[in-house]
Amino acid sequence: MAASAQAGAPPVAPPRLVVGITGATGAIYAHRLLQRARSLGAETHLVVTPAGVLNLHHELGLERREVEALADHSYSPGDVGACLASGSFDASAMVIAPCSMKTLASVAHGFGDNLLTRAADVMLKERRPLLLMVRETPFNLAHLRNMTAVTEMGGIVFPPLPAFYHRPKDIDEMVADTVERVLQTLRVPGAQPMRWDGLRANSGS
């Protein structure tokens, strides 16, 4: 009886992720996140700012079309009438990777002046997960206050700081683990960050 009921149940929709890319350093995180989200079956909706396009080319040698090809849907930042601008668009979560301090400030103060920041504002008002991979160092007081404001509104501030306790072999491994942690935080099924089982277990003693 249970088996027949399960067989007749509607299929579970894949996670629907909004992905934003800004001009902060760390374009590799966005590239890896889009690749991994696709491999996990997530539906991705991409917005890349003009500075994000420049940085993708500078850091990774990628053109806009190559990155957009990794997403299921892509939008211009100026397309403020796109579906992402409405709370009726049922996104599972949103991540801005990397997130510049300018974009952080816009989100913190509700300046939905382009599709990226408007989509972030929608996530906050609809009480849906919004994760910002903020990239800057050191932080000044304005940065800290903006991160506090976003956190108080329900957003997740996630600086892409690599973990070293599992002794990563190279940069790719550090980036991959950070992306897995992001996807796990956003409850994407199948995400597998490196797990810490305790000092004794990891030292083999």
Is a pLDDT exceeding 70 seen at residue 3? no
- In one-letter notation, the amino acid at residue 102 is K
110 lies in some domain: yes
For residue 35, give its domain range: 14-193
pLDDT band at 5 (very low <50, low <70, confident <90, very high): very low
Segment (H or E) for 146: helix 141-152
The number of folded domains in the chain is: 1
203 lies in some domain: no
Segment (H or E) for 78: none
Residue 166 pLDDT: 87
Q: What is the mean pLDDT of residues 196-203?
A: 74
What would the pLDDT profile of 33-47 be if each residue is shown by its tens digit?
A: 999 999 999 999 999
61 lies in some domain: yes
Residue 50 pLDDT: 97
What would the pLDDT profile of 71-113 be if each residue is shown by its tens digit?
A: 999 999 999 999 999 999 999 999 999 999 999 999 999 999 9
Contact 72, 37 (CB under 8 A): no
100 lies in some domain: yes
Contact 117, 100 (CB under 8 A): no
What would the pLDDT profile of 167-199 be if each residue is shown by its tens digit?
A: 999 999 999 999 999 999 999 999 999 888 888
Cα dihedral 161, 137, 109, 85 in deg (nearest 10): -50
183 lies in some domain: yes
7 lies in some domain: no
160 vs 165: CA distance, rounded Å: 15
Which CATH number belongs to the domain containing residue 22 in this structure? 3.40.50.1950
23 vs 51: CA distance, rounded Å: 4
Considering only 138-147, 153-162, 190-199, which range has the smallest mean pLDDT?
Answer: 190-199
